[in-house]
Amino acid sequence: MYVPLTRNYGTTSTKALLTTDLSFMQGGIRGGIFYTSKVGRDDGVTIWGNPFDGRLQYRLMVSEGMEDISNPNDQLRFVGRVVVNLLEPEKEWFNQGTYLGKKKVLSFGVGLDKQNNLTLNNLPGQDNTAWTIDGFFDHPVAKDAVTVESAYIHIRNSTQANTFTNLAPGDNAGLFYIQAGYYFSTPIGIGNLQPYLRYENVSVEQKNETSFLSGGFNYYLRGHNAKFSIDYTIVDYVKMNNQSIMTLQLAVGI
């Protein structure tokens, strides 16, 4: 099942993202997920609930985490996430990355991921810890709508490397992203336009940083059930010249 740590990947439906893809450090645009996972998931048990009529949401997971020689004592992994909703609650298992003016949301979340006594970079007795704090705002503006999301993630004793960054097992790092979009309710042709921007930064302790700048737009033919997206991303990575990635996507669902 999904690991209930972050909003961007742990609790947001990839069918209803604001941006064309997930953030780079959470599996998007050829990136890998920064935490231990099995195709972005883990084997375990999760309990969750929405007390106070959804003003509060909690998710608590016990799972396997690292299972190979990096975990010689078969230590379990513990993950938790708590969210406070100040406007309309989000009670579903999967949130939307943008509500297209149909909901008023202001939420703040914190998450913790921990697995102790691992062997990382040939060093035994290492405790892997990741924590995050994030905010999400989605609100109508006249007949249009604005969406803003941001998060900071701190990693201590990373369990794995990550594509296009200097992150390696045993490293400490800070991850940050901010993204925003504006939805125009007045149709252009047969659909509605939503331009967006995202900036993401990966700062590994005692190593060079990597940054990602993305921009694009969604063209909604029938909300999240039918949309066309264009994304252009620039990767600033010290081990290569700046790389540009363009993505064209048609998403259809029911």
State the DSSP string of 23-34: -TTBT-TT--BS
pLDDT, one tens digit per residue, over 202-245 is: 999 989 899 999 999 999 999 999 999 999 999 988 777 778 99
Q: How far apart are CA 99 and CA 101, in angstroms?
A: 6
pLDDT, one tens digit per residue, over 67-93 is: 888 998 889 999 999 999 999 999 999
Going by C-alpha positions, the residue among 14, 19, 2 that lies closest to residue 231 is 19
**Residues 6 or more apart in contact with residue 72 via CB below 8 angstroms:** 119, 124
The answer to whether 197 touches 212, Cβ cutoff 8 Å, is no
Walk me through the domains of the chain, giving residue ranges and CATH numbers. Answer: 44-252 (2.40.160.10)
Beta bridge partners of 118: 126
Q: What pLDDT sits at residue 197?
A: 98
Q: How far apart are CA 172 and CA 130, in angstroms?
A: 10
- The tokens 């972005």 sit on which residue? 40
Going by C-alpha positions, the residue among 125, 157, 136, 121 that lies closest to residue 88 is 136
Q: How far apart are CA 11 and CA 96, in angstroms?
A: 9
CA 86 → CA 56, 150, 201, distances in Å? 9, 16, 28
DSSP classification of residue 103: -
Q: How far apart are CA 239 and CA 166, in angstroms?
A: 9
pLDDT, one tens digit per residue, over 107-138 is: 999 999 999 999 988 889 899 999 999 999 99
pTM exceeds 0.85 for this model:
yes
pLDDT, one tens digit per residue, over 34-73 is: 999 988 899 999 999 999 999 999 999 999 999 888 998 8
pLDDT, one tens digit per residue, over 137-179 is: 999 999 999 999 999 999 999 998 887 788 899 999 999 999 9
Q: What pLDDT sits at residue 90?
A: 96
Number of neighbouring beta carbons within 10 Å of residue 137 = 17
Q: Is 20 left (phi over 0), alpha (psi -120 to 50) or beta?
A: alpha
Q: What pLDDT sits at residue 68?
A: 87
Number of neighbouring beta carbons within 10 Å of residue 31 = 21
Query: Nearest 5°: phi and psi at 247?
Result: -125, 130
The answer to whether 214 touches 201, Cβ cutoff 8 Å, is no
Beta bridge partners of 220: 192, 227
What is the spatial order of strands in the sheet that 144-156 belongs to?
A: 44-49, 56-63, 77-85, 105-120, 123-141, 144-156, 173-183, 192-204, 210-220, 226-236, 243-252
- The tokens 């905010």 sit on which residue? 135
